[in-house]
Structure 1
Amino acid sequence: MTTTDHDAGLRLTVLGCRAGMPEPGWPSSGYLVHAPGGEILLDCGPGVAAKAAMRAAELSAVFISHMHTDHCLDLLILGKARTQGPLPATKLPLYVPPGATRTLHRFNELFPLGTDGPGDHPTDHVFRDVFDVVEYEPLRPVRAAGATVLPVPMRHRQPCCGFRVTTERASLAYTGDTGAGSDFAPLVTDVDLLVAEATLDEPDRTAHGHLCAAEAGQIAARHGARALLLTHWAHTGRDWIDAQVARAGEHYRGRIDVAVPDHTFHVDTDTQET
């Protein structure tokens, strides 16, 4: 994984990008944003915590788009990892959707260190003693790691927000999970890099709320995104992914990249991959 020298730029490292359940080498959703003042983790699905914990000292904040397991299940693991050795002097800000705080505490209570229920050990209370849990307000910006993070409501079966991350020099947008009926303008307009799910082969005709690659391309083109990174793969075979890139390319003429674990994208320098 590429190390970061924090400057005014913006980079994104894909930690995981698999929709639903992870598979070997392909963790579920997790994206590390290298910002001027530190690093911001967007989502923390299964398999992401081990990678994020390696950067724990530089993590400035965690943002969760929604409470489906492939986007948040590793939060407990990440919190427990931070209890190994002395607890950090400050809690790690954890921004979650409205109503999620109670869910997280109940989740932690299901897995106490001892048999009598939660005790005094930090692993029994990571969402109290390790994380500073804050329920974000949609469309109200948050400052973190020298960047501004704007949660934007998206249409999905669970309450969900995408995130627009802006620094002095660059901006990126991450859709989380969403259907095509969302208001994408506040999230995507003139963004340098759009990280968009491309979960389906065809448009979603259900109430679940997912995008196909063609819709991701249409959204990028309609709102003037400078580059497009397709992600949230339902399948990881190269032929299937290449087909999604082709579908997006029928609607979007800018640069299209594909999310692959441990690849880093430089948002402010022609979105080059390392």
Structure 2
Amino acid sequence: MDDSNIMGATLPVDANRAGPSTLVKAGDSPLLVDCGRGALMRAAAAGVGAANLTALLLTHLHSDHITDLSDVITTRWVTTFMPTPLPIIGPPGTKAVVEATLAALAPDISYRIAHHADITEPPSVQVHEYTEGQVWDGDEVRIAVAPTDHRPVEPTIAFRVEYESNSVVLAGDTVPCATLDQLARGADALVHTVIRKDLVALVPRQRLKDILDYHSSVEQAAATAARAGVNTLVLTHYVPPLAPGEEDQWRALAANEFRGRVELGDDLLRVTIG
């Protein structure tokens, strides 16, 4: 199983990093987890187009994690010649967001149907809302979800993707919680968003300091990985952006809590497990 990580910091816009999104290749099933700014561009660089996606998985509905939702829907629609509905799996509220996105795309949809003889129907999606349990079982790929704690954003979920004997858990934005520990137990890899609390605490703007309330620090994410007994921890969506030369600092903070393999999730990082 490959994990091509394609994410970036929430604020500010970074010229060198896309928004939060992770591509999981499980056999012949490319799964896109979240779709932040520039997700499809990074997916294309990883060799996967929108038409190839098996499903879109959303951990939560914060704007930075769904910025490219309309792009994923539209691009898959116009580049698929034998269209099948795009499964979109997310927490409760996902259906309303997808419906609103399709409504906003209504003029574009009408233009394309009027212009192309082989496009006769609007984009087809199948939205499934879950907070826990097994949500996918087919073609040797199994997906389970569990609730996480990103309050006041709720509900939020994490995903566990299993293929053959391999497994990866994608935590999304969350503070440590027992449900994530349980979902991640024994996984080959944990992909976890992180912040440097020591650095964010120095910023004078309270609005940025507010993120300390509902994101895990590097140390907390590493402690989650240690409790769950995973083999590899991938640090993603880091805030503040990781500056050149700081890599050893971030790894050292994680190593204080976790003795396994630690990867820093720069754009287009590829991690192979199993």
TM-score when normalising by structure 2: 0.82
2:266 corresponding residue in structure 1:
260
Is the CA contact 1:96–1:134 (under 8 Å) kept in the aligned structure 2?
yes
Match status 1:49 vs 2:40: yes
1:7 corresponding residue in structure 2:
none
1:78 corresponding residue in structure 2:
72
1:216 corresponding residue in structure 2:
221
Per-residue CA deviations over 1:77-122 (Å, capped at 9, x if unaligned) read 11111233565421121112112211221233234426xxx74756
| 1:103-122 matched pairs, under 5 angstroms | 103-113=97-107, 119=110, 121=112
Higher helix proportion (structure 1 or 2): 2
Q: Does the residue aligned with 1:197 lie in a helix, a strand or coil?
A: strand
1:186 corresponding residue in structure 2:
182
1:236 corresponding residue in structure 2:
242
CA spacing shift, 1:205–1:30, aligned 2, 3 Å: closer
Match status 1:198 vs 2:194: yes
Per-residue CA deviations over 1:120-163 (Å, capped at 9, x if unaligned) read 7569xxxx723222223422332255311111110013221111
- 2:258 and 2:271 map into 1 onto residues whose CA distance is 19
1:166 corresponding residue in structure 2:
162
TM-score when normalising by structure 1: 0.82
CA spacing shift, 1:130–1:81, aligned 2, 3 Å: same
In structure 1, give the amino acid aligned to 2:103. Answer: E
- 1:230 and 1:85 map into 2 onto residues whose CA distance is 33
- 1:146 and 1:199 map into 2 onto residues whose CA distance is 34
**Residue in structure 2 matching 1:66, options 56, 60, 85:** 60
Match status 1:175 vs 2:156: no
Per-residue CA deviations over 1:170-216 (Å, capped at 9, x if unaligned) read 11111100012453232211111111111232599878420000111
- 1:206 and 1:70 map into 2 onto residues whose CA distance is 14
> Aligned residue pairs: how many?
252
RMSD (Å) for aligned C-alpha atoms? 2.6
Q: Report deviation, 1:41.
A: 0.7
Match status 1:12 vs 2:3: yes
In structure 1, give the amino acid aligned to 2:193. Answer: E
Q: Report deviation, 1:166.
A: 1.0
CA spacing shift, 1:137–1:220, aligned 2, 3 Å: closer
Is the CA contact 2:195–2:215 (under 8 Å) kept in the aligned structure 1?
yes
Per-residue CA deviations over 1:1-53 (Å, capped at 9, x if unaligned) read xxxxxxxxx11011224334542221111111111232111110111023336
**Residue in structure 1 matching 2:141, options 147, 154, 161:** 147
Identity %: 25
Following superposition, which runs of at least 4 residues in structure 1 exceed 4 angstroms of deviation?
118-123, 202-208
Q: Report deviation, 1:220.
A: 1.1
Q: Does the residue aligned with 2:126 lie in a helix, a strand or coil?
A: strand
In structure 2, give the amino acid aligned to 1:26. Answer: R
Gaps of 5+ in 1: 1-9, 269-274
